[in-house]
């Protein structure tokens, strides 16, 4: 599904790479935790996976699409949901934001959008102004819009940040449903607590280097040395317990 080989990226004007020779494989339908402290390279990796940047060296292939020279195709494969929903929402109302990519008065498209809004408990807010939505509702709107394009890969940047406990449980339910539907999800997090028990694998970055990849139980014991706090249940019992 996703294969990176010696993937490197250096920002223009810099001599040191932001990402240095990363190699990893992610299978279809996997939920992957991408973790690392600030400056570790998580955002840069997301920019490559979403087609916003082109690899400086190495290869990146997503669902059969090679990143170099095929950025537009890559953008069709990957959907990126930002941490700050206000940076991503364009429409003035829920309906307008969800319908932006479709022709005006497209009845079939509106039915599809309404169905997606219902899945995310946004249908009752269909005509509501976006500024009237809660923080969690705005994030769900961004997710709903992203999934309308039927991507192969969903990139979630700090999806639990700023959410209260009920909203966090709802976000977990959304991720579980996405897994059932075979959607590959890569979740960038600082706090592993709400998601680690859902993860199939982890990618650990530190200063642009890949420090670990594999199943969560194979990686959790090494996180502290890279400034990442393991989940409480792991610190207490050295096992992966359901978070809820």
Residue 222's pLDDT band (cuts 50, 70, 90): confident
Residues of the chain by 3-state class (helix, strand, coil), percent to 5:
40, 25, 40
Separation CA 239–CA 91 (nearest Å):
44
* pTM of the full structure: 0.93
Query: Looking at residue 104, what is its pLDDT?
Result: 87
Query: Looking at residue 234, what is its pLDDT?
Result: 72
Query: Looking at residue 236, what is its pLDDT?
Result: 67
pLDDT digits (tens, 9 = 90+) for 157-174: 999 998 999 999 999 999
What average pLDDT does range 33-62 have in this prediction? Answer: 96
Separation CA 74–CA 68 (nearest Å):
9
Separation CA 61–CA 55 (nearest Å):
11
- Using the structure block, give the residue that is written with the tokens 């004007």: 13
Q: Given a cut of 80, is residue 13 above it in pLDDT? A: yes
Separation CA 22–CA 59 (nearest Å):
10
Q: Given a cut of 80, is residue 45 above it in pLDDT? A: yes
What average pLDDT does range 198-227 have in this prediction? Answer: 94
Query: Looking at residue 92, what is its pLDDT?
Result: 97
Share of the chain above pLDDT 90, in %: 82
Residue 237's pLDDT band (cuts 50, 70, 90): low
Residue 18's pLDDT band (cuts 50, 70, 90): very high
The partner residues of 187 in beta bridges, in order of sequence, read 33, 156
- 56, two tokens: 């400086």
Count of Cβ atoms closer than 10 Å to residue 148 Cβ: 20
Residue 221's pLDDT band (cuts 50, 70, 90): confident
Q: Given a cut of 70, is residue 238 above it in pLDDT? A: no
Separation CA 59–CA 19 (nearest Å):
13
Query: Looking at residue 240, what is its pLDDT?
Result: 66
Residue 217's pLDDT band (cuts 50, 70, 90): confident
Domain 2-237, what architecture?
A: 3-Layer(aba) Sandwich (3.40)
Query: Looking at residue 86, what is its pLDDT?
Result: 95
């Amino acid at each position: 599904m996703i294969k990176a080989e010696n993937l490197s990226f250096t920002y223009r004007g810099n001599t040191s790479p932001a990402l240095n020779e990363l190699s990893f494989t992610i299978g279809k339908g996997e939920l992957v935790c991408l973790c690392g402290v600030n400056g570790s390279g998580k955002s840069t990796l997301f920019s490559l996976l979403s087609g916003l940047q082109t690899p400086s060296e190495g290869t990146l292939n997503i669902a059969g699409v090679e990143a170099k020279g095929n950025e537009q195709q890559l953008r069709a494969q990957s959907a990126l949901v930002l941490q700050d929903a206000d940076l991503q929402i364009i429409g003035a109302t829920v309906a307008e934001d969800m319908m932006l990519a479709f022709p005006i008065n497209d009845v079939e498209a509106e039915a599809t959008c309404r169905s997606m809004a219902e899945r995310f408990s946004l249908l009752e807010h269909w005509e509501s102004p976006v500024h009237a939505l809660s923080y969690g509702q705005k994030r769900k709107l961004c997710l709903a819009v992203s999934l309308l394009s039927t991507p192969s890969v969903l990139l979630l940047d700090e999806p639990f940040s700023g959410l209260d406990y009920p909203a966090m449980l709802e976000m977990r339910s959304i991720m579980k449903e996405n897994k059932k539907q075979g959607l590959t999800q890569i979740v960038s997090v600082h706090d592993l607590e709400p998601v680690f028990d859902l993860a199939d694998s982890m990618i650990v970055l530190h200063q642009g280097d890949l420090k670990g990849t594999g199943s969560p139980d194979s990686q959790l014991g090494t996180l502290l040395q890279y400034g990442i706090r393991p989940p409480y249940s792991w610190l207490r019992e050295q096992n992966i317990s359901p978070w809820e």
